[in-house]
């Protein structure tokens, strides 16, 4: 039924893999503010507010791009280059992960999961460097904290990758997604469940959500990621905000399309399925965003020094994923 609709609407020609790849980047680029806006909206509703409009992030970005850029006298070119580099990184990662398709795209083999993680880390580094360059204490604090917790969460990411690699014998994200799709047993194997949950916690840390960080309002002493952008303005700030929305959507995409629900992706290059994969991805990301919004409401922020406990829990899950795999159950 669906197939026939596709055929009627879009014909049977095939979209070239390169074009799909570009489309992946465009999806992340264009969809990220939408998902962010949706999550903030849901959050507002959960807290009994009306919440901002779903499209608000687009207006914010447009406004920021129109505003002038103010730079402190002490800063060097790094202050302005940071946001651009980070934004570039976020544009590269969607090339590597299964955003729209089940099959690997030409540039998808350019890097594995670790490669993607490195590029994301590079983006974080660029932003932190720019924050340090601003000379403002809170921005510097945010930058150094972000690097600290980034370093602490790194072993967890590594172990998640190990678990994935052990289960699939490769560390390509496409391969794990294909493995998960292959049978229902794959979904319930403990290695997968544990690694998936560990990655979920990693996403919580990396997107700066409760219980690690409050992402709405200004609470300078508890801020980590948010503090880094305090000194930026105008177009660089827009890039930073857009970038962090993209990072969020990228992490959501990995969690959804690699671990939790790799369904609804295009299995072939037919235009119909490729185009349908876009709303399917954004829809799944919004559902996931609702989960995060609920967590936001259920828990309170941890004290800064308790965050290590949270990270230890994520690490525990990831290590157990590997251990259980070796015990024979995977």
Partner 1 sequence: MSPAPSTYAGVADVVAVLVLLTEFAMLRAPLLRSQVRLYAFQSLVVTVLAVVIAATRHIDELYVLAVLSFVLKVVLVPGLVLRLLRDADVDLAGSSVLGVPSMIMIAIGVSAFGIFTVGSLHVHSNALPTTALAVAAAVVLVAFVLIILRADVVSQAIGFFSLENGVSVASLVVAAGLPLVVEVAFLFDLLVAVVVFGVIMRVHHGRSQTLSTEDLDRLKG
Q: What is the dihedral of CA 94, 97, 102, 103, to 10 degrees?
A: 90
The reply to whether 303 sits near partner 1 by the rule CB under 8 A is: no
Minimum distance, C-beta of residue 216 to partner 1, in the bound complex (Å):
28
The reply to whether 158 sits near partner 1 by the rule CB under 8 A is: no
SS3 label, residue 224: coil
Whose Cβ is closer to partner 1: residue 286's or residue 319's?
319
The reply to whether 308 sits near partner 1 by the rule CB under 8 A is: yes
Stretch that binds partner 1, among 7-15, 82-90, 227-235, 315-323 (CB under 8 A): 315-323
- Mask of contacts with partner 1, 53-92, x by CB under 8 A? ----------------------------------------
Minimum distance, C-beta of residue 325 to partner 1, in the bound complex (Å):
8
Minimum distance, C-beta of residue 166 to partner 1, in the bound complex (Å):
7
Whose Cβ is closer to partner 1: residue 115's or residue 330's?
330
Look-up of token digits 């159950």: 329
The reply to whether 255 sits near partner 1 by the rule CB under 8 A is: no
- Residue 61 in tokens: 């970005």
Is-contact 300 210, C-beta < 8 A? yes
326 forms beta bridges with: none
The reply to whether 270 sits near partner 1 by the rule CB under 8 A is: no
Q: What is the dihedral of CA 241, 66, 38, 29, to 10 degrees?
A: -60
Look-up of token digits 């998808």: 108
Whose Cβ is closer to partner 1: residue 80's or residue 166's?
166
H helices of the chain, in order, are 2-10, 17-46, 56-66, 77-92, 113-133, 137-168, 173-182, 184-188, 190-206, 234-254, 271-298, 307-326
Interface contacts to partner 1, rule CB under 8 A? 166-170, 175, 179, 183-190, 193-194, 308-309, 311-313, 315-317, 319-320, 323-330
């Amino acid at each position: 039924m669906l197939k026939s609709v596709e055929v009627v609407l879009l014909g049977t020609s095939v979209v070239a893999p390169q074009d799909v790849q570009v489309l992946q980047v465009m999806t992340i680029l264009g969809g990220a503010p939408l998902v962010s806006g949706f999550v903030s909206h849901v959050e507002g509703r959960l807290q009994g507010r009306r919440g901002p409009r779903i499209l608000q992030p687009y207006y914010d970005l447009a406004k920021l791009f129109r505003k002038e850029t103010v730079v402190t006298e002490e800063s060097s070119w790094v202050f302005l280059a940071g946001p651009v580099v980070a934004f570039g990184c976020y544009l590269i990662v969607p090339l590597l992960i299964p955003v729209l398709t089940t099959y690997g795209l030409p540039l998808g083999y350019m890097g594995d999961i670790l490669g993607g993680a490195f590029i994301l880390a590079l983006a974080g580094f660029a932003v932190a460097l720019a924050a340090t360059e601003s000379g403002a204490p809170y921005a510097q604090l945010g930058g150094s904290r972000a690097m600290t917790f980034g370093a602490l969460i790194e072993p967890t990411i590594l172990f998640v990758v190990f678990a994935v690699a052990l289960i699939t014998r490769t560390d390509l994200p496409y391969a794990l997604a294909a493995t998960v799709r292959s049978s229902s047993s794959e979904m319930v194997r403990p290695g997968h469940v544990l690694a998936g949950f560990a990655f979920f916690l990693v996403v919580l840390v990396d997107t700066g959500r409760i219980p690690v960080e409050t992402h709405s309002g200004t609470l300078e002493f508890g801020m980590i990621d948010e503090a880094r952008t305090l000194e930026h303005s105008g177009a660089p700030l827009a890039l930073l905000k857009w970038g962090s929305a993209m990072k969020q959507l990228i992490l959501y995409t990995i969690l959804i399309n690699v671990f939790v629900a790799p369904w609804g992706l295009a299995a072939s290059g037919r235009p119909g399925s490729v185009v349908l994969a876009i709303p399917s991805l954004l829809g799944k990301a919004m559902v996931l965003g609702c989960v995060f919004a609920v967590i936001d409401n259920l828990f309170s922020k941890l004290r800064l020094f308790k965050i290590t406990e949270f990270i230890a829990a994520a690490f525990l899950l990831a290590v157990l994923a590997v251990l259980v795999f070796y015990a024979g159950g995977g």
